[in-house]
Amino acid sequence: MNKTLKNIKEKFNRKIFSNKLLNLKHRFVTNSETRELIDSGIFISKKKFLIDKIDFNKYLSDTNFEFVSKRFKLNEDDLKKIIVSLNELGILKIIKNYLGKKLVIYNNSILTLGKIKSNDKSMMPHHDKNGRCIKVYIWIDKFSLNSHPLYYLEKSHTHFRRDEDYESSRFGFINKIKFKKYHGGMGDVILFDTNGIHSHFKDTVDPRSVVEINFEPYGFLSRMNNLTFDKFKNRIDFTFLENYL
Ligand SMILES: [Fe+2]
pLDDT at 41: 97
Give the pLDDT confidence score for residue 18 in this predicted structure: 82
**pTM score of the predicted model:** 0.92
Give 213 Cα–ligand 1 centroid separation in angstroms.
Answer: 12
Q: Is 112 or 22 the better-scoring residue by pLDDT?
A: 112
> Does the structure show a pLDDT above 70 at 60?
yes
Q: What is the pLDDT of residue 157?
A: 94
- Give CA–CA dist 13/9, Å, rounded: 6
The pLDDT of residue 198 is 96
Task: Give the residue, 238 or 121, on which the prediction is more confident.
Answer: 238
207 contacts 114 by C-beta, under 8 angstroms: yes
Other CB atoms within 10 Å distance of the CB of residue 184: 22
pLDDT tens digits, 202-229: 999 999 999 999 999 999 888 899 999 9
Mean pLDDT of 142-166: 89
The DSSP call for residue 121 is G
Residue 198 Cα to ligand 1 middle (Å): 6
What does the pLDDT average to over 120-137?
A: 92
Report how far residue 174's alpha carbon sits from residue 153's, in angstroms, rounded to the nearest whole number. 10
| Confidence at residue 15, expressed as pLDDT on a 0 to 100 scale | 77
Q: What is the pLDDT of residue 170?
A: 86
pLDDT above 70 covers a percentage of the chain that reads: 95
CA of 71 to the centre of ligand 1 (A): 13
CA of 49 to the centre of ligand 1 (A): 22
Give residues with Cβ within 8 angstroms of 37, minimum separation 6: 43, 94, 98, 134, 191, 193
Burial (CB count within 10 angstroms: exposed 0-12, middle 13-18, buried 19+), residue 192 = buried
How many domains does the chain contain in total? 1
Instruction: Name the maximum alpha-carbon separation found in the chain.
Output: 59
pLDDT at residue 104, rounded to an integer: 98
Please state, rounded to an integer, the average pLDDT across all residues of the chain.
92
Which residue range is the domain that position 93 belongs to? 3-244
Ligand 1 center–CA 194 separation, angstroms: 6
Distance from Cα 20 to the centre of ligand 1, integer Å: 23
Please report, for the domain that includes residue 62, its CATH number. 2.60.120.620
CA of 170 to the centre of ligand 1 (A): 10
Kindly state the average pLDDT of the residues 147-151: 97
52 pLDDT band, cuts 50/70/90, is: very high
